[in-house]
Structure 1
Amino acid sequence: MAKAPSLKDVAKAAGVSVATISRLLNGSLVLPDETRSRIETAIRDLGYVPNPHARRLSRGRSDMIGLVIPDIANPFFAMLVASIEEEAEKFGLAVSLNATLNRPGRERKYLGLIEHHHVDGLIFVTNHPDDGELAGLINRTGKVVIVDEDVPGAIVPKLFCDNHQGGYLAGKHLADFGHKKVVFVGGPEEMISTARRHAGLEQGLRERFGEEVEIPRYCGEYTVAAGRHAARRFLDEKLPASAIFASSDEIAIGMIEVLYSEGVSIPDRVSVVGFDDVGPLHLFSPPLTAVRQPVRAIGARALSLLLQTDWQQLETLEREELLPVEIVVRSSVAPPVIEKKRRS
């Protein structure tokens, strides 16, 4: 079997050094047209195929980015992964996918991928509050774009949906139907998604009803199990509101499952608005009104930030970028029971 031509063979045929060809191939050297033509002819005639691994080592790059997410089974994160994969392919980049199960220890481990030069940068998603350790590690590591949920104190680009606007759209929609008392079901209180969605909901309701507004607040996790727990609490408290703002698809699914099992009709007895709108909410009975995050746009923009950021000038950059959301109105909101009686 014939031996594959080497870089040394090409150098000999072209009459130049191995170092010259290596620098040309990794883009660090500009040569006269005549010399470049000789090298390209030698490569073509010999059938030389550059070793991609060797080229990456010579450039100090891996041509791979890391993506760290809490849970691949969650439809929101699955769609985010797909959008980043599609965008990375356009740039000839590979994606190393790492699921942390939302555990800080695994997050710290995957941040080490940059320090050990396994990836050129990370798109990082967490789904829990940080005690400061994660922020410190991110600042030391660099080349990280934080997406979806904040890590306070991290001095890197951050990309979120406009959580406040999402809460506001939900509140305004519920207020339009006459709801003054709305249960808010969110993640941990310390997370910006929870705080901003709650603040937006309150603004949307108070613009219509002022001091008449009441917003009981249930905080837990963005999971189906947390939604089930919230629904049982809602039932134990004898349905303390005429509407629910479930601030994730997963929470909404868990709540609806329990409410249906207990014979609580939506929207006749209680109205429900969700958040994310990445699941098949249009197939629910009734179809669920929800605030829609631009998940694919978030993925594409996250990669763009990773590739375009000047990592030597982080102190001068705008660190937080918000992408707009919209409310998709379906059939899960109706006037409160008392309002229906007044109208009839």
Structure 2
Amino acid sequence: MASKRVVLSDVAQMAGLSKATVSRYLNHSIVLPQQTVQRIEDAINTLGYRANSLARRLSMGGSETIGLVLPDITNPFFAELADAAEETASQHNYSLVLCVTRNNLEKECQFIRWLDTRQVDGLLFATNRPDNGQLCAELKGHQHVVLIDEDVPGCDVPKVFSDNVHGGEMATRALIGAGHQRIAFVGGPNELMSVRERHQGYRRALLQNGLVYDPSLVRYGDYSRQFGRQALEQLLALPAPPSAIFAASDFLALGLLDGLRAKGLSAPEAMSLVGFDDAIYSDLITPRLSTIRQSARELGITAVERLLQLFDQDEEIPTISRIPVEWISRDSIARWRGKL
């Protein structure tokens, strides 16, 4: 037969106090004589009482829990971000609950509404789906939200992004430095801020180095491996195909490599490639991928810090925080030696 669950009234009875007094002690809302405190603690230890921490926190106006909303936890980039956010939240005595949306608008809105029910005190929110205005409307009026990695246009909350423009410049300059002049850009949806900014850096590097910007070398689509392969086929079919490609994500670069292999070609001999992210597999594939490292860890840490500043409301918070990026040189770039 299962033992009876110990409740607050059992502790109060053993300590010889009212239930309200014990409850206020556990909520840190009353100062008691040391002898009284000892009676309560002795009763708790003797009975093995475990308080319902969520209920206690809710009664005090908060859950001491942060929600982390991510589109895809199978992506190593988001997994690293989540690990850093949880560690930082824990250091500040907050729990972190992971909310995976798979870029489903209904799920995104569901997690935002957790703020209304106080299931979480605040949200770290990431999406890589272009917003049609619904997500912005849902976020409107919520103060304890920090956007990570990707923007939701029109949303007036703190935002933590990587320095996408500088990353796009560095990637393109590396290819230019290897002698390439016809350099293509393959990105995700054109509506996404990260894609537009990385393209901006790409275009800026071309023009600053006296090269012609050719829109026919630009391809927008899904942030998917399949689109990377499709884009490679389109670019190779051009009358004057590129000799190098800057992919706006490492995942797109995998698709480009798939497309090359399907045609019996390889990188960097047939095509030099640069990615963006420095995903965990970038150093494991053949060729090892040259890429732009954006620190998922720093994104997670900074986002938690911004949210805690929102809670405190005792200092000015930057509207946008930019995380520096870093050039990682590996094996996927070769000097340009002529036509394909």
Distance across 2 between alignment mates of 1:85 and 1:138: 23
> What TM-score do you get using the length of structure 2 for normalisation?
0.88
| 2:183 is aligned with 1:182 | yes
Task: Tell me if the contact between 2:236 and 2:242 (Cα under 8 Å) persists in the aligned partners.
Answer: no
What's the counterpart of residue 334 of structure 2?
A: 334
CA distance in 2, matches of 1:200, 1:308: 31
Moved more, 16-25 or 30-39: 30-39
State the partner residue of 1:320. 320
After TM superposition, the structure 1 = structure 2 runs for residues 19-168 of structure 1, keeping only pairs within 5 Å, are 19-168=20-169
Residue deviations 1:141-173 (CA, integer Å, cap 9, x gap)? 332111110011111111111111111111221
Identify if the C-alpha distance between structure 1 residues 5 and 330 changes in structure 2 by more than 3 Å, giving closer, same or farther.
closer
Amino acid at match of 1:133: Q
Deviations 1:171-190 (A, max 9, x none): 22112112222111112222
In structure 2, relative to structure 1, the CA distance for the partners of 1:192 and 1:256 (3 Å cut) is: same
Task: Provide the secondary structure at the position in 2 that maps to 1:230.
Answer: helix
TM-score normalised according to structure 1 size: 0.88
Q: CA deviation at 1:57?
A: 3.2
Stretch deviating more after TM superposition (54-63 or 101-110): 54-63
CA RMSD of the aligned region, Å? 2.7
CA distance 1:285–1:42, change in 2 (3 Å): closer
Give the residue type in structure 1 aligned to 2:41: E
Q: Is the CA contact 1:100–1:106 (under 8 Å) kept in the aligned structure 2?
A: yes
CA distance in 1, matches of 2:243, 2:113: 48
Shift of 1:96: 3.0
Deviations 1:169-214 (A, max 9, x none): 112211211222211111222221111111112223333x225454
Helix, strand or coil: the match of 1:210? coil
Q: 1:50 to 1:212 in 2, by over 3 A?
A: closer
Residue 95 of structure 1 deviates from its aligned partner by 3.4
Q: Which residue does 2:268 correspond to in 1?
A: 267
Deviations along 1:270-306, one digit per CA (max 9) or x if unpaired, are: 2100000113222222211000110122122222222
- Cα deviations across residues 49-99 of structure 1 (Å, max 9, x unaligned)? 323243233223334322222222222223323333344444454433332
Identity of aligned residues (%): 42
1:169-248 alignment runs, 5 A limit: 169-207=170-208, 209-214=209-214, 216-238=217-239, 240-248=241-249
Aligned equivalents of 1:106 and 1:5: distance in 2? 37
Q: Is the Cα contact below 8 Å between 1:189 and 1:219 reproduced in 2?
A: yes
Question: Is the CA contact (8 Å cut-off) linking 2:128 and 2:150 kept in structure 1?
Answer: yes
Q: Provide the secondary structure at the position in 2 that maps to 1:146.
A: strand
Aligned length: 338
Structure 2 equivalent of residue 298 of structure 1: 299
Q: What is the DSSP-based 3-state SS (H/G/I as helix, E as strand, rest coil) of the residue aligned with 2:184?
A: strand
CA displacement at 1:16 relative to structure 2: 4.2
Q: Which amino acid aligns with 2:338?
A: I
**2:322 alignment partner, SS class:** strand
1:40, 1:101 → 2: CA distance? 46
1:102-158 alpha-carbon deviations (Å, 9 max, x no partner): 132321222122222222222111112222221121123332111110011111111
Tell me, which stretches of 5 or more residues in structure 2 are unaligned?
none
With over 3 angstroms needed to count, the CA separation of the structure-2 counterparts of 1:2 and 1:247, relative to structure 1, is: closer
Q: Is the 8 A contact 1:129 1:191 kept in 2?
A: yes
More deviation, 280-289/56-65: 56-65
2:154 alignment partner, SS class: coil
Give yes or no for contact 2:121–2:144 (8 Å, CA) kept in 1.
Answer: yes
> 5+ unaligned residues in a row in structure 1: which ranges?
none
Mapped partners of 1:7, 1:260: distance in 2 = 66
Structure 1 residues 310, 86: closer, same or farther in 2, change over 3 A?
closer
Tell me by how many angstroms 1:326 deviates. Answer: 0.4
Q: What is the one-letter code of the residue matched to 2:136? A: A
The AA in structure 2 aligned to 1:328 is: I
Q: Call closer, same or farther: CA 1:10–1:239 in 2, change over 3 Å.
A: same
Decide whether the 8 Å contact of 2:243 with 2:270 is kept in 1: yes
Q: Distance in 1 between matches of 2:196 and 2:314?
A: 30
| Offset, 1:320 | 0.8
